[in-house]
Amino acid sequence: MTRSVLSIGDLSASEIGAVLDLALESKRRSGPRGSELAGKTALLIFQKPSLRTRVSFELAVSNLGGRPLYLSPPEVGIGERESPEDVGSVAGRYCDLIVCRTFDQTVLERLAASSGVPVINALSDWEHPCQALADVLTIREHGGTSGRCLAYVGDGNNVARSLAAAAAGEGMHVRLASPAGYELDASSVEDAALRARESGGSVSTMSDPEEAVFGADVVYTDTWTSMGQELETKQRHEAFVGYQVDVNLVAKASPDAGVMHCLPAHRGEEISDEVLDGPQSIVLDQAENRLHAQQALMAWLFG
Verify whether residue 222 is a known catalytic residue.
yes
Verify whether residue 235 is a known catalytic residue.
no
Q: Least separation, in Å, of the C-beta of 275 and ligand CP? A: 18
CA 95/CA 67 separation, integer angstroms: 10
Supply φ then ψ for residue 61, to 5 degrees: -60, -45
Q: Least separation, in Å, of the C-beta of 138 and ligand CP? A: 12
Q: List, in order, residues 6 or more apart from 210 with CB less than 8 Å away.
A: 249, 252
Verify whether residue 131 is a known catalytic residue.
yes
Do 152 and 175 form a contact (C-beta atoms < 8 A)?
yes
The one catalytic residue among 54, 101, 148, 173: 101
Q: Smaller CB distance to ligand CP: residue 38 or 51?
A: 51
Q: Smaller CB distance to ligand CP: residue 4 or 157?
A: 157
Report the relative pairing of strands 97-101 and 202-206 from DSSP bridges: unpaired
Q: List, in order, residues 6 or more apart from 29 with CB less than 8 Å away.
A: none
Q: Smaller CB distance to ligand CP: residue 127 or 141?
A: 127
Q: Smaller CB distance to ligand CP: residue 110 or 128?
A: 128
In the complex, the residues that contact ligand CP under the rule CB under 6 A are 50-53, 123, 131, 262-264
Verify whether residue 128 is a known catalytic residue.
yes
Q: Least separation, in Å, of the C-beta of 27 and ligand CP? A: 18
Verify whether residue 105 is a known catalytic residue.
no
The one catalytic residue among 128, 140, 148, 161: 128
The one catalytic residue among 140, 290, 292, 295: 290
The one catalytic residue among 47, 131, 244, 295: 131
Q: Smaller CB distance to ligand CP: residue 132 or 257?
A: 132
**CA-closest candidate to residue 37, choices 99, 85, 90:** 99
The SS3 call for residue 47 is coil
Sign, CA torsion 248/250/251/253 = positive
Q: Least separation, in Å, of the C-beta of 202 and ligand CP? A: 26
Beta carbons within 10 angstroms of residue 235's beta carbon: 12
The one catalytic residue among 47, 135, 222, 294: 222
The catalytic residue positions are: 101, 128, 131, 222, 262, 290
